Amino acid sequence: MLLFLIPFPILEITSTFVVITICTIMKKVLVEFSHMGVFCGFGEIDQNYASRLSKLKFDDMKFVFLVPKDYIGAFGDNVEYVEIKEKYEKRRDLNELPYVDLWHATTQRFHYRAITKGTIQLMTIHDLNFLYDKSKLGRIERLWRLQRKINKSDYMTTISHYAERDILKHMNLHGKNIQVIYNGVRNIDLQPEKQPVFIKDTNEKFFFSIGQILAKKNFHVLVPMMKHFPEYKLFIAGDERFDYDKIVRQTILDEHCENQVFMIGNVDEAEKVWLYRHCGAFTFPSKVEGFGIPVLEAMMCGKAVFTSNCTSLPEIGGQYSFVWDNFDTEYMAKVVKENLTNFYRRTDFIQEMKHYAQWFSYERYTNEYVALYRKLLGLNTLY
């Protein structure tokens, strides 16, 4: 049930006159940022969203950030902070958390949520990627866990229409609403760059790819393709702590590409910007994506983008990405060769592409979520 804002008068009586003051009930919105500081897409979203949300001031709504200890106070004093404590996860003891009017779980992977009477529960479901990269038993378990969270939620959002279709197909929303709010993407082309130390010759040609080194990212199919581009190197950046990293490295050895394909591990933001700006093409053969932030980051830098036709990638890339319909090596190489040279001659197309990618801004993302908070709380959505 939604709670509506009702102003009420307070009488201040003095010796000479009566002053009527209209007071406003302040609604509290808790936003869960449990991935703050984690090197992944969730962590990047948390950082950028919290930064923008903390700058907003309202007479009738205040934000409470649920964050790890190191981020208490990190976004100024315009918001309240609650520390994520280990016992919240282990004991589900949330009695210490303050009462709020709306609780926003920013991913379906949350461990912290207080179910209290009168609190509106909003949950963002990023994707159902586990349907495509887990065992049958793993899929059943994940579906069961997510369904329990949906049952306890009042409203859902998701990050793409592809993800929305997946959710409607596999989950029971019990008639509850779900809304698509596309992820925000920071305009990476406005950020400072730093040449990575492993780049010795700034004139050498290379392709670039980035993401956690997981099987669903499908990076190994790029290795044999690179044999068709002997004048280019390939740099693959990302967290290497997963077993799939060994598969990619073994493929590099099997294809004798040790001097052409390089696993470079995690790179910092300035190095990532440099790699986007200086690469000849961005190659992203992922098989499972709920959104696909790197695709838009590369577009913002004016780069030719090659992706798979899987899950959300055609939706996010739109008409501005070149799509592989399968992962046959000869076919992949042909798609790149047919499109790469002419792409950089189409200056008007590149400008259109950059404007398209810039639409996915954190300003838009923040505005859409704030409008939703206000709608759910029964507040005036024109702010």
Say yes or no: 177 and 192 in one domain.
no
Q: What's the pLDDT score for residue 24?
A: 64
Q: What is the pLDDT of residue 354?
A: 97
The CATH number given to whatever domain includes residue 142 is 3.40.50.2000
Q: Could you tell me which of 226, 229, 236, 225 has the C-alpha nearest to residue 196? A: 236
Return the higher-pLDDT residue of 87 and 247: 247
Residues 220-235 pLDDT 10s = 999 999 999 999 999 9
pLDDT of the residue at 25: 84
How far apart are the C-alpha atoms of 152 and 155, rounded to whole Å?
9
Average of per-residue pLDDT across 181-193: 94
DSSP state of 224: H
| Pairing mode of beta strands 8-13, 18-23 | antiparallel
| Interatomic CA distance for residues 23 and 7, integer angstroms | 6
Q: Which of 122, 165, 125 is nearest to 145 (CA)?
A: 125
Do residues 166 and 286 share a domain? no
Residue 153 and residue 109 share a domain: yes
Q: What does the pLDDT average to over 149-176? A: 96
Provide mean pLDDT across the span 142-155. Answer: 95
Q: Any bridge partners for residue 30, and if so which? A: 64, 103
275 plus 171 within the same structural domain: no
**Average pLDDT of the chain, as a whole number:** 90
Same domain, 41 and 136: yes
Considering the domain architecture, whether residues 293 and 318 belong to the same structural domain is answered as yes
Q: 359-380 pLDDT, tens per residue?
A: 999 999 999 999 999 999 999 8
Q: How many domains does the chain have?
A: 2
Same domain, 180 and 218: no
Instruction: Spell out a b/e string for 267-284, using b for 16 or more CB atoms within 10 Å of the CB, else e.
Output: beeebbbbbbbbbbbbbb
Pair (273, 171) in one structural domain: no
What local confidence, expressed as pLDDT, does residue 95 receive?
59
34-43, 56-65, 85-94, 367-376 — which is least confidently predicted? 85-94
pLDDT, tens digit, for every residue of 257-309?
999 999 999 999 999 999 999 999 999 999 999 899 999 999 999 999 999 99
User: What is the pLDDT at residue 93?
Assistant: 52
This prediction's pTM: 0.85
The more confidently predicted of residues 1 and 164 is 164
Residue 17 lies in a domain: no
Which residue range forms the structural domain that includes residue 143?
25-184+362-377
